[in-house]
Amino acid sequence: MSEKFQVVVIGGGPGGYVCAIRLAQLGLKTACIESRGSLGGTCLNVGCIPSKNLLNLSENYHKAKNFSKLGIDIGDVKLNLEKMMNNKDKAVTLLTKGVEFLFKKNKVTYFKGTGSFKSINKISVLDRKKKEIIIETEKTVISTGSVPVSLPGIEFDEKIIVSSTGALMLQAVPKKMVVVGGGYIGLEMGSVWSRLGAEVHVVEFLENITPGMDKEISVEFMKILKKQGIHFHMQTKVEKIKKNANGASVLTIDKDGKKVNFDCDVVLISVGRKPNTNSLKIESIGVKLDEKKRIKTDKNFQTNISNVYAIGDVIEGPMLAHKAEDEGIAVAENIAGQSGHVNYDTIPGVVYTSPEVASIGKTEEQLKESNIKYKIGKFSFMANSRAKAIDEAEGFVKILADEVTDKVLGAHIIGSHAGELIAEIGIGMEFGASAEDIARTCHAHPTFSEAVKEAALSVDKRAIHS
């Protein structure tokens, strides 16, 4: 007889594992199926965590190399890439094992294998040795995430032509690396390898990097990265990538039709990710996809098939771990009869370069497009005492508030700790804060967060330090 569950979650990434834990907390008999052999999904295994580990270590390496300028003489700084990669792998293992522990603690049953639909209530789990078991379920949550996409006709070999996954595992620092796509993943990985010594060239089809970001921030961001030595080739399209004895040759064409060839040892293609529904056999139960092959859901994350839900990267919305997690909690609460919901207007986005870039809510371009009248408050970290004291004064805070009500509509920060600073704006926005609410909140001195307060003051042209 097959084992029976109230809910089966397919996919153990941040969407799926958080959902499974919340379901179990709510008293539902829950199983989670994960095919990659470890929990945590893209995020913990080949995404957020290893990339942040390498960003941190490469930044430390870069800083250490420049310590002598600050009066700290530590002699010759040498890179041991193998050790650095081992450190990254250790962080990943610790965290993925941590999720396994949380499953045990919360009594979530964990199946290692590929989940697919036999019928609406019967799920097959096929393990790596091709052994199949069938489990029964009342409800199913699909959280199978996304996978990197390549350019037409170009396959990843994860050594010379790499996706983000390969870029996290290179065994030597490339002399020259071409990054195709100026989105956040390409810029983070480009920063890592540039700091470790590679000559990095970003080829981007559009006019600006990080499309969708507030334009003023994006322009400043590119300026800063250029100063750090990253080369940008904007409005340039990759026509062909050919492997050769030394690596690869990337043929590009710019907006004026000029062809430029880049010879390099590694090409990172980071042009986006696509929903991962391949192994689910959802067509057998009739689950509908949208035009971008994402699973179509309603506001309760229910697909067109009752009792089958979907969350995370596999559905519409920003492909971010915290968005997937929040959807995991919301769908679990809905399944348990509560009223889970996600506020898509306050999902922050962070790029973990140095300095960091963080955004929440509307950009100036979006407000213009929707004819919403707004005020802008801006404050430069050049005038922030903490930032100046520790020589991390690049960037600024920009707050957008409604012209009439003063309600905060969006905030965009480029600067040290931007990813942490954006959280206070998020809480403010959830509580319907005005710029004045933030401006009148006492912020500790000297902190980077004072720049947020000053930007809020600047919305009404009363910043003190600028």
Ligand X SMILES: Cc1cc2nc3c(=O)[nH]c(=O)nc-3n(C[C@H](O)[C@H](O)[C@H](O)COP(=O)(O)OP(=O)(O)OC[C@H]3O[C@@H](n4cnc5c(N)ncnc54)[C@H](O)[C@@H]3O)c2cc1C
Q: Does 310 bind ligand X (CB under 6 A)?
A: no
Q: Indicate the residue among 41 and 395 with the shorter CB distance to ligand X.
A: 41
**Can you tell me whether residue 451 is helix, strand or coil?**
helix
DSSP for 283-314?
GGTT--B-TTSPBP--TTSB-SSTTEEE-GGG
Q: Does 326 bind ligand X (CB under 6 A)?
A: no
Using CA atoms, how far residue 323 sits from 101, 189, 261, 264, in Å, is 23, 22, 39, 36
Active-site annotation holder among 201, 231, 341, 445 = 445
Binding window for ligand X (CB under 6 A); candidates: 37-45, 246-254, 329-337, 364-372: 37-45
Q: Does 313 bind ligand X (CB under 6 A)?
A: yes
Q: Indicate the residue among 282 and 400 with the shorter CB distance to ligand X.
A: 282
Which residues make Cβ contacts (< 8 Å) with residue 256, sequence separation at least 6?
none
Q: Does 252 bind ligand X (CB under 6 A)?
A: no
Indicate the angle between helix axes 81-106 and 14-25, nearest 10 degrees. Answer: 30
- Judged by CB under 6 A, which of 53, 96, 146, 363 binds ligand X? 146
- Judged by CB under 6 A, which of 5, 7, 9, 13 binds ligand X? 13
Q: Does 58 bind ligand X (CB under 6 A)?
A: no
Q: Does 145 bind ligand X (CB under 6 A)?
A: yes
Q: Does 114 bind ligand X (CB under 6 A)?
A: yes
Length of the chain: 466
Q: How many CB atoms lie within 10 A of CB 65?
A: 16
Using CA atoms, how far residue 396 sits from 136, 297, 355, 447, in Å, is 54, 38, 10, 14
Q: Does 238 bind ligand X (CB under 6 A)?
A: no
Closest to 253 (Cα-Cα) out of 235, 231, 237: 237
Residue 278 φ/ψ, nearest 5 degrees: -50, -45
Q: Indicate the residue among 238 and 319 with the shorter CB distance to ligand X.
A: 319
Q: Does 458 bind ligand X (CB under 6 A)?
A: no
Q: Does 166 bind ligand X (CB under 6 A)?
A: no
Q: Indicate the residue among 164 and 303 with the shorter CB distance to ligand X.
A: 164
Q: Indicate the residue among 114 and 384 with the shorter CB distance to ligand X.
A: 114
Residue 349 φ/ψ, nearest 5 degrees: -130, 135
Q: Does 93 bind ligand X (CB under 6 A)?
A: no
Q: Does 185 bind ligand X (CB under 6 A)?
A: yes
Kindly state the DSSP code that residue 169 receives in the 8-state scheme: S
Q: Does 10 bind ligand X (CB under 6 A)?
A: yes
Closest to 143 (Cα-Cα) out of 40, 271, 272: 40
Binding window for ligand X (CB under 6 A); candidates: 27-35, 222-230, 288-296, 332-340: 27-35
322 counts as catalytic: no
Q: Indicate the residue among 164 and 449 with the shorter CB distance to ligand X.
A: 164
Q: Does 41 bind ligand X (CB under 6 A)?
A: yes
Least CB distance from residue 118 to ligand X, whole Å? 13
Which residues make Cβ contacts (< 8 Å) with residue 144, sequence separation at least 6?
10, 11, 16, 275, 276, 277, 279, 280, 314
Report the distance separating Cα 36 and Cα 125, nearest Å: 13
Q: Indicate the residue among 41 and 247 with the shorter CB distance to ligand X.
A: 41
Q: In what order do the strands lie in the sheet with 396-402?
A: 349-351, 356-361, 408-415, 396-402, 374-380
Q: Does 279 bind ligand X (CB under 6 A)?
A: yes
Q: Just list the catalytic residues.
A: 445
Q: Which residues bind ligand X (CB under 6 A)?
A: 10-16, 33-36, 41-43, 47-48, 51, 114-116, 143-146, 164, 185, 276, 279-280, 312-313, 319-322, 324, 352
